[in-house]
Amino acid sequence: MFLSMSEFNQEYLKKERDQQWRVDLRESLKQKDRVKIERLKMPEQDPRVRIKNNLEVNSGLTAEQAVTEAQRCLDCVNPTCIEGCPVNINIPKFIKYIEARDFLKAAQTLKETNALPAVCGRVCPQEVQCELTCFYTQKLKKSPVAIGNLERFAADYERETKQISVPEIKKQNNIKVAVIGSGPAGLAAAGDLAKSGYSVTVFEALHEIGGVLKYGIPEFRLPNSIVDMEIDILRKMGVFFIRDFVVGKTSDINDLQKQGYKAFFIGSGAGLPRFMNIPGENLIGILSANEYLTRVNLMGATKPGYDTPVHPGKNVAVIGGGNTAMDSVRTAKRLGAERAMIIYRRSLEEMPARKEEIHHAMEEGIEFNILQNPVEYLSQKDGRVSRMRIQKMELGEPDESGRRKPVPIVGSEYLIDTDLVIVSVGVSPNPLIPKQMPQLKVTRWGTLEVYPETLETSITGIFAGGDIVRGGATVILAMGDGRKAAAGIDQYLKNL
C-alpha cells in the first residue's frame, strides 16, 4: 500500500508520539515566560566587510543564544511546525534537546529524517514552511521560533566538535539501486535507501557532488565544505558516488539495468537556463546565471591559472528576482562591480527570492530597479554589450500565477550602461534523459510525469523527484521528493 504525503505525515507523527519521547529539561520554564522571550537575531558579518570577502554572511548562533531561542518553543501538543516541514523533522524534539544542552541528540534527531540538516538550516525558506506554521506565527501573531537557525546550530555543533554521528542502517540486502543526479533530491533518496539496506550508487554528470548546492549557491551563503561534510556522512552509510557520468551519454538506464540495477531514481534537476529572446541577447558579455555561478563556484573562474574565466564587470545588470538572481548580483558585487543592479519586471512584493536574501542584498548596496524590463541590448564595440534599453512597467490584473501582471508603460524606455548582463529568468528541466527514453511521459513544460503517491514515472521501477518533476523549486521540496520516492522504491522492490 502506498501512502500519500499527508498520510505519510500522519503515520510519522503517530509513530513519534507513540514513542513518547521526552527530554529531561533542567530548568523548566512556565509557558507564559517562554512567550515573553524575543526571537534572537542571527549574528552576521558587517555588510561593508562582507562585500570584500566570500565568507558566510551569517555566522551562526552561539550555544547560549541557541539555548535561549530553544526556550521559546512551547513543545505544542499539536506541533503544527512539523506539518510545514516537507521532510517531517520532529521539530519540538530536536529543539528540546537543544534546550537541555544535549546538542548531539538534537543533531541525531534531525538526521532521522533529514540527510542535509546543515544545508537546510542555511538555505531553506523556513519563513514559508515550518516557521510559517509555528504556533507563534499562527496563533500568537509573534515572530516564530527560529527553527532554521536552531537546525543549523545543532548540525554545526556536531561538525565543529568532530562528533559526527552516522545514522543506523539496516542489514545490507545487496539489491542495487541507481540514483541519477547528486542534488538534494538524489542525496535524500540515497540516504533513505541506504538506511533501508539497499546498495545505492549515485551517478553525477559533473565533477563535483551536490548539484545546485555546489554549482549554484555561493560560498557566502553555503560553504562547499558544509555540503561535503554532509555528503561524507552518506558515504559512511555506504552510498557510492560516481562523478563525470552523464546518464544518457556515458551509459544509459538500459545498460545500468543490465549491470543489475533493479530500480532508479531520476533527480537530474532543472539546469537548462531560459532566455528572453530579445534583440542583442547573443552579444558578448550576456550569459545565464547558471553559467555565471557555475564558472565562479565550481570552475575557478576568478582564480589565476584557470581557462574558464568570467569578465568581472563594472556595471553588472542581473535580470530577474529569484534566489538565483540575488546570488548572481551579490557575487558580482564581491567580484568588484561598481554598480551591481537587479532589473525586475514586477514589484518588490512579488519577488520570489527569500526575504532574507533581498534584505542582505540591499544592505550590500545592490541597486533594485523594480518594475523595469530589458527590451534590447546594444553594442558600441567588438560585439560586446555596452548598453541596454529598459522599459518601465506597471502592475495590471493578476495572471495565472496569482501575481499582478507587469504591463509595459508606453514611451517609458531609457538606456542603462552595462558591460555584463546575467540573465536569471527561470530554468527548464534537462531534456537529455526524457529524450533518450521516449516512453517516459513528460508534461508540456518538459518536467517528468509521476504518480503523486509514489513518484513512480510512466516506466515501472523508474522514479523521479525534485526540479526534474517540479521545475525550479526548493532544496527541501526536492529532499521531500527524494524521501517519498525512496519509500516508493522500497515498496516496489519488496513486491517484486
Binding stretches for ligand SF4 (CB under 6 A)? 73-76, 79-81, 91-92, 134-136, 145, 147
CB-wise, 59 or 138, nearer to ligand SF4? Answer: 138
Rounded least distance, CB 248 to ligand FAD, Å? 5
265 contacts ligand FAD (rule: CB under 6 A): no
Binding mask 477-496 for ligand FAD (x = CB under 6 A): -x------------------
Rounded least distance, CB 407 to ligand SF4, Å? 41
Q: Which amino acid is present at 162?
A: K
Burial of residue 317 (CB within 10 Å: 0-12, 13-18, 19+) is buried
Rounded least distance, CB 181 to ligand FAD, Å? 3
Q: Which does 480 bind (CB under 5 to 8 A by kind): ligand SF4, ligand FAD, none?
A: none
Near ligand FAD in 330-389, by CB under 6 A: 354
CB-wise, 74 or 489, nearer to ligand SF4? Answer: 74
475 contacts ligand FAD (rule: CB under 6 A): yes
d(CA 190, CA 200): 6
Neighbour count for residue 60 (Cβ, 10 Å): 19
Binding mask 384-423 for ligand FAD (x = CB under 6 A): ----------------------------------------
Residue from 129, 288, 294, 430 binding ligand FAD (CB under 6 A)? 430
CB-wise, 227 or 388, nearer to ligand FAD? Answer: 227
Residues that bind ligand FAD (rule: CB under 6 A) add up to a total of 42
181 contacts ligand FAD (rule: CB under 6 A): yes
184 contacts ligand FAD (rule: CB under 6 A): yes
CB-wise, 65 or 454, nearer to ligand SF4? Answer: 65
User: b/e per residue, 17-26, with b = 16+ CB within 10 A?
Assistant: eeeeeebeee
212 contacts ligand FAD (rule: CB under 6 A): yes
Rounded least distance, CB 135 to ligand SF4, Å? 4
Q: Which does 267 bind (CB under 5 to 8 A by kind): ligand FAD, ligand SF4, none?
A: ligand FAD
* Phi/psi of residue 124, nearest 5 degrees: -70, 145
Residue from 341, 433, 455, 485 binding ligand FAD (CB under 6 A)? 433
Sheet holding 420-423, edge to edge: 286-288, 420-423, 315-319, 339-344, 367-370
Residue from 148, 267, 280, 374 binding ligand FAD (CB under 6 A)? 267
Rounded least distance, CB 301 to ligand FAD, Å? 15
CB-wise, 136 or 292, nearer to ligand SF4? Answer: 136
CB-wise, 207 or 441, nearer to ligand FAD? Answer: 207
Q: Which does 475 bind (CB under 5 to 8 A by kind): ligand FAD, ligand SF4, none?
A: ligand FAD
d(CA 179, CA 114): 17
Residue from 51, 61, 180, 341 binding ligand FAD (CB under 6 A)? 180
Termini Cα distance of the chain: 14
d(CA 143, CA 149): 13
278 contacts ligand FAD (rule: CB under 6 A): no
Rounded least distance, CB 161 to ligand SF4, Å? 25
Residues near ligand FAD (CB under 6 A) are: 123-125, 180-186, 203-206, 211-212, 216-217, 246-248, 267-269, 271, 293, 323-324, 327, 354, 430, 432-433, 466-468, 472-476, 478
